[in-house]
């Protein structure tokens, strides 16, 4: 995956505004920020989706997200944070290297919540959808 842009940023082969780093993860500012301090957090090792993310990468990645969440709020006096993952083309994933977005939010910034991303409510009841999911998950209704 030598042509992967985020692998290259992870290896410092191309520059980025780094705001956090440890042995396994890198946090850097998005090149097209949707908000002041819009940050991308990656595992340095390539994987495409949360499904592919190895167990051992989970803790460092979310520890970095937690650290940056607090730092961004303090540094930029943000009022909140939208934390998101675009997974798959249908969800708008443009860079096929798993990453978290941290978007600092400010009162009256004109943005919306994650509920504003899609409007595709199911035709089935939520009980029917839940049954479909539990069948694959192999669990019964508690
Ligand atoms: P997604 O894949 O979740 O849609 O978003 C990828 C994000 O990476 C975009 O917000 C885009 O602006 C950012 N991005 C793409 N290429 C680069 C780059 O070379 N440097 C930096 N800092 N950000 C990038
Ligand atoms: Zn990669």
Q: Which of 97, 99, 101, 115 is flagged as catalytic?
A: 99
Q: Which residue, judged by its Cα, is nearest atom 5 of ligand 1?
A: 94
Q: Which residue, judged by its Cα, is nearest atom 12 of ligand 1?
A: 32
Q: Could you write out the DSSP letters of every residue in 18-76?
A: EEEE-SSEEEEE-SS-SSTT-EEEEESS--SSTTTS-HHHHHHHHHHHHHHHHHHHHHH
Residues β-bridged to residue 103: 82
Contact 20, 67 (CB under 8 A): yes
Q: By three-state DSSP, how is residue 94 classified?
A: coil
| Mean per-residue pLDDT, 29-42 | 98
**Cβ of 93 less than 6 Å from ligand 1:** yes
Long-range contacts of residues 58-62, Cβ cutoff 8 Å, at least 24 apart:
60/22, 60/23, 60/24, 60/25, 61/24, 61/25, 61/100
Q: Which residue, judged by its Cα, is nearest atom 21 of ligand 1?
A: 31
Instruction: Kindly give the distance from the C-alpha atom of residue 76 to the centroid of ligand 1, in angstroms, as a whole number.
Output: 21
Contact 11, 43 (CB under 8 A): no
pLDDT reading at 2 higher than 70: no
Q: Which two tokens stand for residue 141?
A: 């209704």
**Cβ of 87 less than 6 Å from ligand 1:** no
Instruction: Kindly give the distance from the C-alpha atom of residue 15 to the centroid of ligand 1, in angstroms, as a whole number.
Output: 13
| Mean per-residue pLDDT, 99-111 | 98
pLDDT reading at 1 higher than 70: no
What is the predicted pLDDT for the residue at 141? 83
CB burial readout 41-75, b (16+ within 10 A) else e: bbbbbbbbeeeeeeeebeebbeebbebbbebbbee
pTM of the model: 0.96
């Amino acid at each position: 995956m030598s042509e992967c842009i985020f692998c290259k940023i992870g290896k410092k082969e191309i520059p980025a505004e780094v705001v956090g780093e440890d042995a396994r993860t890198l946090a850097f500012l998005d090149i097209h920020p949707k908000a002041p301090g819009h940050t991308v957090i990656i595992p340095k090792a390539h994987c495409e989706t949360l499904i592919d993310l190895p167990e051992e990468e989970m803790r460092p990645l979310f520890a970095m997200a937690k650290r940056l969440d607090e730092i961004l709020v303090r540094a930029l006096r943000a009022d909140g944070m939208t934390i998101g993952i675009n997974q798959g083309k249908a969800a708008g994933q443009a860079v096929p290297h798993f990453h978290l977005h941290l978007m600092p939010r400010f009162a009256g910034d004109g943005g919306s919540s994650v509920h504003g991303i899609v409007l595709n409510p199911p035709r089935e009841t939520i009980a029917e959808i839940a049954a479909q999911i539990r069948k694959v998950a192999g669990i019964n209704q508690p």
